[in-house]
Structure 1
Amino acid sequence: MLKFIAPSSLFFISFQSVALVPPDYKEPANDFTAEVEAGLQLNMGNTESSSFNGRTQLIFDTKQTKQEAVLKAYFASEKNQTTSEKYELQLQSNYKLDRGYIFGRGDFTWDQFGSYTKISIFSIGYGFDALNSYRTKLSLEVGPGYRYNLPTESLAESNPEAEKDVILRTAAKVSQKLQEYTSINADLTAEVGDKNNTLTLDMNYKNLVFQDWAFKIGVNIKYTEEVPEDSKHTDTITTFNLLYTFR
């Protein structure tokens, strides 16, 4: 009797396992992804300087909406004296339509040594995917917005007034997969207003090194048409970072 019960019990347990976990079972899709990257540079000898940059991106993408937050930080010092300190926060919420999406966006910048120490931009508009294949993705956005710029202090203007302007924001975001583990991404954004115009190119090359680890080279170029006295029109930031993706 025992010899009959033992095989029967094993068969019953195996049958229960198959019933609980069907052969075509798949893990539910994860709507949340995150990226964390950082880079550090140290120079010693004739020049003693150090620099650090970091970036965190959070994305929550569902069938009807997409929420995205990006935080960037840049810091540099030379001979124990801070020469650069900049923080950027970008927030965007998309509501998906049958064709395209409606978005609301906020861009905030705090720059200790920039031509503008505080920049706040709010915009709304419409976007759509012009291309959406495995290798190539291109999305376009357009909409009105409001911009607040606080210029840095200068010899000519020790207490500058903030610039407030209604703008038109247009953006193009492209992602090109070169190979299975390498890709190029570029965001081109133009903000046109009565008082000032800006053009920003954020471009990077990403190469997957091991599983969720990747090496990333980035270039951020921003051109501002009207800048305070003794300030340059173009700001360029180049980064060499190690990136990790949470899925």
Structure 2
Amino acid sequence: MLRAICITSLLCLALPAFALVPPDYQEPPSDFTAEIEAGFQLNTGNTESSSFNGRTMLVYDTQVAKQEGTFKAYFASDSEKTTSEKYNVQLQSSLKLDGGYIFGRGELTWDQFGSYTRIYTLSSGYGFDVISSDKTKFSLEVGPGYRYNLPAATDTDPDPAANKDLILRTAAKFSQKLQEYTSLNADLTAEAGEDNSTLTLEMNYKNLLFQDWAFKIGVNVKYTDVVPEDSQQTDTITTFNLLYTFQ
């Protein structure tokens, strides 16, 4: 009898809680999003190796502004030595306006085995959405900037001087939701300077596995017009990663 009274009392206390939180309740969307991924890497061009890579992206998107930060790391070694070591940081702050946004952007790259071992780029400008729907997003950015390049040392030039150049940066960003669980993303960036110019294409395909986990295939191709002696103009990185999204 006492046990029945206790069970009845607990059920009476629990019923109001279920009434306050319906079964189909979902948390409201957050302004903050984060992605963490890691996986296998294939390098061709100035480096020939395979190993791990990692990427972290943080986004804080409100009605007034959008803050984005991305950190990438690539590391590889063979049985004798390290063959690839590269770190990249990208930061962008955008202030939203009617019909577009103004932005400030910084990118820093340290590449131990690249044609340029240090690349620092600062730029600002204007961007706008050409297409913005639930399935398709396409935006363009343009603006002036400044780039610092430190070439890799060679036998003929063991202590190269850094190149400092004013640039015009243009970028096109495309995102397409193919199906409920798959999406395709592509970013094309051109940096035109008096002394050197670059063209970078970054593409990835994501397939949701379950909940917040996804499989991602990515390709990054960068073409540099002027490179040091014994360096290739095109670098390609192909990645196969497992990605987790925080929202």
Bin of the TM-score, shorter chain as denominator length: 0.7 to 0.9
Deviations 1:19-71 (A, max 9, x none): x779x9874431101000001469xxxxxx75110000000001101000000
Distance in 2 of aligned mates of 1:130 and 1:50? 38
Show the 5 A alignment for 1:1-247. 14=16, 27-40=27-40, 51-247=51-247
Greater alpha carbon shift after TM alignment, 160-169 vs 78-87 = 78-87
SS of residue matched to 1:58: strand
Q: 1:162-204 CA distances to partner (integer Å, 9 max, x unpaired)? A: 0000000000000011111001100000000000000000000
CA contact (8 A) 2:41 2:238 kept: no
Of all paired residues, the percent bearing the same amino acid is 70
Task: For 1:89 and 1:55, locate their aligned partners in 2 and report how far apart those are by CA, in whole Å.
Answer: 10
Determine helix, strand or coil for the equivalent of 2:75: strand
Question: Gaps spanning 5+ residues in structure 1: where?
Answer: 1-9, 43-48
| Structure 1 pair 243–156 and aligned structure 2 pair: CA distance change class (3 A) | same
SS of the residue corresponding to residue 228 of structure 1 reads coil
Distance between the aligned counterparts of 2:56 and 2:171, measured in 1?
21
Show the counterpart of 2:46. none
C-alpha displacement of 1:78: 1.1
2:190 maps to a residue whose letter is A
CA-based RMSD of the aligned residues comes to: 2.4
CA separation of 1:173/1:50 partners in 2, compared to 1, >3 Å: closer, same or farther?
closer
- Partners in 2 of 1:230 and 1:25 — Cα distance? 61
After superposition, the Cα gap between the structure-2 partners of 1:107 and 1:125, relative to the gap in structure 1 and judged at 3 Å, is same
* Greater Rg over alpha carbons, structure: 1
Aligned length: 231
**CA–CA separation in structure 1 for the residues paired with 2:171 and 2:120:** 17
Question: What is the rounded CA distance, in whole Å, between the counterparts of 1:117 and 1:35 in structure 2?
Answer: 27
Deviation of 1:17 after TM superposition, in Å, equals 8.7
Offset from partner CA, 1:52-101 (integer Å, 9 cap, x none): 10000000001101000000011111113111100100000000001100
Query: Which structure is richer in relative contact order (CA contacts within 8 A, separation 6 or more)?
Result: 2
Gap regions ≥5 residues in structure 2? 1-11, 43-48
Q: 1:113 to 1:25 in 2, by over 3 A?
A: closer
TM score, norm. by length of structure 2: 0.87
Distance 1:102 1:41 in 2: 34
Cα distance in 2 for residues equivalent to 1:154 and 1:41: 27
Q: What SS is found at the alignment partner of 1:114?
A: coil
